[in-house]
Structure 1
Amino acid sequence: MLIGKINIVASFLFVAALMLYGFALFNIAVRRVLLHLPISTGTSRWTSGLALVGMLMPLGILTSLVVGMLPIVIIISGISMILTMGWLTVAVSQTETSS
């Protein structure tokens, strides 16, 4: 029983570390694109706001597990992360690059 408990705890810690790592990479990628590429101010504001909403996913998972709240925060943050990446992809593809 003790070994099973240790395995579950280790698995959850690994998943939590992976989530933190993934959200950090998401945040770094969005900031890097917004800072270094010539993207319009409106697009920058909207995508940075959507990225911030996407960062609420761990809070949504926590409230869903601990409090039993509906996973609406998880769904909204997931959709906002997808919209952020899609919008930035379109914005970067429309920028002009110098040779």
Structure 2
Amino acid sequence: MSDENQTGAPHKAGAFDIRNIIGALMGVYGVILALAGLFGDAETEKTGGVNANLWTGIALLVVAGAFLGWARLKPIVVPADVERPDDDPTRPAPSRRRPSH
């Protein structure tokens, strides 16, 4: 039995939603870069007086928040029953290759 039949709520993609994965990955990189910008050597002479690690880390954290918020506000609903593509009579059957001997 599916979760939809037992609880009445549709099943959502949850952690397997690609937006969660991208948001988490960008968040991890953002935290690392922001910490490197705060506690590491800024090397502002190489970047024209800008702490590039800090600003890039902050930008990645903002983008990660946007991805995670998007996934939370508009979750992907997984259908309970999916028809196989072979059941569609209008779809042409795949052509089979002949074995080459």
Q: TM-score, normalised by structure 2?
A: 0.48
More helix by share: 1
Higher alpha-carbon Rg = 2
